[in-house]
């Protein structure tokens, strides 16, 4: 594996610089220290999911979190967006819609 990449999962390599950025901005996240499973129910109607989305409102790192998730995360709430919302954004971008 090239030294400038980090293996996030068996099928996913990410640039080391992006991983270092995540480690920096995530220290300022409002959700820091909360149980991770609170953010990983992709059923939008679930109350925990709604609470997770609400937690993101006003978070000082919401934008970098959202950008990270659009690039790398397939599940859970990140930057105030559900996995389904991020999939829609990726598709729109891929096909030239903004």
Longest dimension (CA), the chain: 42
pLDDT in tens, 68-91: 999 998 889 999 999 989 999 999
Residue length of the chain: 98
Q: Which pLDDT tens digit goes with each residue over 14-73?
A: 788 888 888 889 999 999 999 888 888 655 555 468 888 999 999 999 999 999 999 998
The structure's pTM equals 0.80
Q: How far apart are CA 47 and CA 41, in angstroms?
A: 10
Angle, CA 70 vertex, CA 89 and CA 94 arms, to 5°: 45
What is the per-residue burial (b if ≥16 Cβ within 10 Å, else e) of 65-83?
A: bbebbbebbeebbbbbbbb
Q: Domain limits of the chain? A: 5-94
């Amino acid at each position: 594996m090239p030294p400038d990449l980090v293996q996030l999962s068996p099928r996913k390599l990410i640039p080391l610089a992006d991983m270092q950025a995540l480690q920096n901005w995530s220290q300022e996240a409002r959700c820091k220290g909360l149980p991770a499973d609170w953010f990983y129910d992709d059923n939008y109607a679930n109350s925990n999911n709604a609470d997770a989305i609400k937690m993101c409102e006003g978070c000082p790192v919401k934008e970098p979190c959202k950008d990270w998730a659009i690039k790398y995360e397939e599940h859970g709430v990140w930057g105030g967006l559900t996995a389904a919302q991020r999939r829609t954004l990726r598709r729109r971008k891929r096909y030239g819609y903004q």
